[in-house]
Amino acid sequence: MQRSASGRGAPPGPDGIPLLGNTREYVQDPLAFFEDLAREYGPVAAYEIGGEQFVQVSDPELVRRVLVDDNDAFVKGEQFMETLKPVLGDGLLTSEGELWRSQRHTVEPSFYPEMLASYATEMTDATERALADWTPGEQRDIHEDMMSLTVEIAAQALFDVDIRAQEEAIGEALETVMDRASSSIRRPVDVPRWVPTPGNRRFNAALDDLHAVAERIIEKHERAGGDASDVVSLLLASDDDLPRERIRDEVITILLAGHETTALALTYALHLLSENPGTRDRLQAELDDVLGGRPPTVEDLDDLPYTERVIEETMRVYPPVYDLLREATEDIEMAGYRIPEGRTVTFQQWVLHRDPRFYDDPEQFRPERWTDEFREDLPAFAYFPFGGGPRRCIGDRFAMLEARLVLATICQEWTVESAVANLGFRPSITLRPDGPVEMVPERR
């Protein structure tokens, strides 16, 4: 496609009100707002929130163009940085250009296939420890359980640190900073961080706690020395002689990103299985046949195709990362419309993963749809739970390994029934539930 600024002018979009634009509709229900934009205005649509102008893209080929073909003409941009920079500093999610390339190159060995295989036992052992605290018939917040479990796994596998003694404090700190991000992304005008409001004081205290955790992790590795291939050891041994603050930012980035989305995928998978008992029965039959009651291993995964399909379909129906954005660094022509330099372009997994052009009965949870033939026919960016292009999530294979092993471990031992009448969402950086996801476990 051309990267010319010529075109037929601005994309179509809904009328707004002075100063606020389409803010009210967006805040009321962001997911419905994005769906309505795509349905009513087509693959390229303009909208305005809080005085900021955006362009939504809802066509797989155009998403490919932004993330892959013309990725050098886009950066994550001001909107993304304002939300996450206070938490993640110059970590892998927020850095750009040569700094980002250097950081990714440094930590990549921790995500090589041979390293991923070595994490499997830690993942299943942590899951078994978590399940030991379950009581049959006792109502639990499964989202809280999965958040605790995945942060423990991320710390052990990627940092070689056992954080169980600090798990509650770390979980509370992570929850506080994510709540702040949730509030700021849905509130066009935010209170500056330096204003001593109760919310700001909580946020700053939580960030101090996370900095202290990261420092303890770094100090542990400095004392140990050696040539380990966990993330912190790789950062400390980098030829770039990284500043202490940058290593700390990377630790916090990977701790947060390494557990949040996987915890959501597992939470939603268990909820969807409860709502679809026939699917749950088919999954448990596969686990019984292959595992026979023993913990799953990496070697078992090729024999557990339905388990993988359950995870894939969960991330289609309820994508943990539901929305991505990029900022144009030059004037761009897209589908005949002019996108000016500095304009933020957004594209939603929520919209494309539910597009009836690509999915029959898109709101239905049907893991069996993921046949080899279906995958081959599906446009690449009609399904992109981990993003795409050079900035595709570095931990995608780690997340899929963890999700399959944890789900298999849980579902061969337990059946969980949802106690939530209607699952609601509080979209922020990720697709978070709007409250506890209460479920009742029973031993099989």
Which residue has tokens 């009836």? 356
Q: Does 1.10.630.10 match the CATH number of domain 23-443?
A: yes
Q: What is the per-residue DSSP string for 150-171?
A: HHHHHHHHHH----GGGHHHHH
Question: What is the rounded distance in angstroms from the CA atom of residue 350 to the CA atom of residue 369?
Answer: 18
* pLDDT tens digits, one per residue of 53-79: 999 999 999 999 999 999 999 998 877
pLDDT of res. 18 = 86
Q: What is the pLDDT of residue 227?
A: 66
Percent of the chain with pLDDT over 70: 94
Helix (H, G, I), strand (E, B) or coil at 35: helix
Domain residue spans in the chain? 23-443
Q: What pLDDT, on a 0 to 100 scale, did the predictor assign at position 94?
A: 85
H helix intervals, 70-195: 77-88, 97-107, 113-131, 142-159, 167-186
Cα separation, 30 vs 424, in Å, equals 12
> In the prediction, which pLDDT does 4 show?
38
CA triple 230-309-416, angle to 5 deg = 85
Give pLDDT < 70 ranges for the chain: 1-8, 181-196, 226-227
- In sequence order, the 6+-apart residues with CB closer than 8 A to the CB of 199 are 180, 183, 191
pLDDT of residue 2: 36
**CA pseudo-torsion sign 136, 120, 253, 205:** positive
- Write the CB contacts of 1 (distance below 8 Å, at least 6 apart in sequence): 65, 69, 70, 333, 334
CA–CA gap between residue 83 and residue 228 (Å, rounded) = 33
Q: What is the enclosing helix (H) or strand (E) of 48?
A: strand 44-49
* 405: CB partners within 8 A, 6+ apart: 120, 123, 124, 127, 296, 301
pLDDT of res. 437: 97
Question: What is the C-alpha separation between 112 and 126, in angstroms, rounded?
Answer: 21
* pTM of the entire predicted model: 0.93
Q: Give the per-residue pLDDT at 302.
A: 96
